[in-house]
C-alpha cells in the first residue's frame, strides 16, 4: 500500500494572505474507536477556516484523519485534539471544527470547537438577499 496513516499535517503558503477568505472541507468517513467498548465510531467532520499565512495540504489531512481509525477517543476529546493539531499546523485567523457523530446507544453527538486568533475580528457580513428581494419586486 503506497500510503499509511500519519500524524503529520503539511501546509503550503496562503496564496492570498492579504484577504480573509473561507475554506470549507468535509471529511465524511472519519472513524475512531469507542474507548469504552472498542467498537467503531463514525462521524462527518466539517472544517471551516480563514487562513493566515498557511493552508493545510489535503493529502496530509487525509492521512492524518486516517491515523485515528484504530485509536480510542471520546467524541469531545478527538474533536478538540484535531482542532488543536490543525491550529498548531496552520495558525489560522479563525477555525471551526464540527464533528457530527452517528448514533450510538440511540444518541447522536455533535461537537463544535473553535479557535480565533488573538485580535482578529471578522469583517461585517454582507447580506445580498435584500437586493435579490428588491429586484424580484421591481423586475
Establish whether 55 is a catalytic residue. no
Q: What angle do CA 92, 61, 65 make, to 5 degrees?
A: 115
Q: List 46's β-bridge partners, or say none.
A: 26, 98
Whole-number Å distance between alpha carbons of 114 and 95: 6
Which of 20, 32, 34, 48 is catalytic? The answer is 34
Q: Is 135 helix (H, G, I), strand (E, B) or coil?
A: helix
Q: Cα–Cα distance between 52 and 117 in angstroms, integer?
A: 9
Is 70 tagged catalytic? no
- How many other C-beta atoms can be found within 10 angstroms of the C-beta atom of residue 2? 3
Query: Do the beta carbons of residue 59 and residue 11 sit within 8 Å?
Result: no
- Residues that are catalytic: 34, 41
Amino acid at each position: 500500500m503506497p500510503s499509511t496513516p500519519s500524524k503529520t499535517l503539511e501546509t503550503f503558503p496562503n496564496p492570498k494572505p492579504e484577504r480573509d477568505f473561507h475554506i470549507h472541507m468535509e471529511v465524511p468517513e472519519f472513524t475512531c474507536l469507542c474507548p469504552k467498548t472498542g467498537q467503531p465510531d463514525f462521524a462527518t467532520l466539517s472544517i471551516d477556516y480563514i487562513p493566515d499565512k498557511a493552508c493545510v495540504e489535503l493529502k496530509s489531512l487525509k492521512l492524518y484523519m486516517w491515523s485515528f481509525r484504530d485509536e480510542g477517543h471520546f467524541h469531545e476529546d478527538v474533536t478538540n485534539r484535531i482542532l488543536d493539531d490543525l491550529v498548531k499546523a496552520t495558525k489560522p485567523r479563525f477555525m471551526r471544527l464540527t464533528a457530527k457523530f452517528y448514533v450510538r446507544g440511540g444518541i447522536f453527538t455533535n461537537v463544535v470547537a473553535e479557535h480565533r486568533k488573538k485580535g482578529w475580528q471578522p469583517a461585517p457580513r454582507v447580506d445580498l438577499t435584500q437586493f435579490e428581494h428588491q429586484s424580484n419586486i421591481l423586475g
